Amino acid sequence: MIKILAACGAGVNSSHQIKSALENEMKKRGYQVSVDTTMIKDINQDKLEHYDIFTQIANSNLGFEINIPVVDAGPILYRIPTMAEPVYQELEDTIKKLGKK
């Protein structure tokens, strides 16, 4: 199981959209992915330690260094397949590098 944290400003709307899109698409590609959502302001280093990958809408300055792979997932929000595809591909590449199933 690959654990992903998706964050946006309010912790609703955008991050849930990302969660639903990533879980569906990665399942199709044969990966077991679980995405939690959060408000950006609630993220700290301890929280991030529980995840394999961090996905954000835009480049967010969390005030500390992020030690896990980060994938920018904002283009998914357009709900246009050609815009989402590069995000899915980057996530898949990142998952492959992690070597987890």
Partner 1 sequence: MITFDTLFTKDRIYISNKTNQKDIFMEVYQDLLKQNCVTKDFLRNLCERERNYPTGIDLAPIDPSLPNIAIPHTESQFVKTSGIVPIKLNHPIYFYNMIHPKEELPVSFLFMILNQDGQEQTSLLASIMDFINSCDKDELTAFFQMKDSEDLFNFLKNNFKGVIAND
Q: Where does this chain bind partner 1 (CB under 8 A)?
A: 8-14, 16-17, 19-21, 24-25, 39-40, 57-60, 72, 74-75, 77-80, 83
Angstrom distance (rounded) from CA 1 to CA 53: 12
Minimum gap (Å) between residue 70 Cβ and partner 1:
14
Query: Which residue, 66 or 80, has its beta carbon nearer to partner 1?
Result: 80
Strand-pairing partners, residue 53, are 4
Residue 71 and residue 90 in contact, taking contact as beta carbons nearer than 8 Å: yes
Angstrom distance (rounded) from CA 2 to CA 34: 6
Query: Which residue, 14 or 94, has its beta carbon nearer to partner 1?
Result: 14
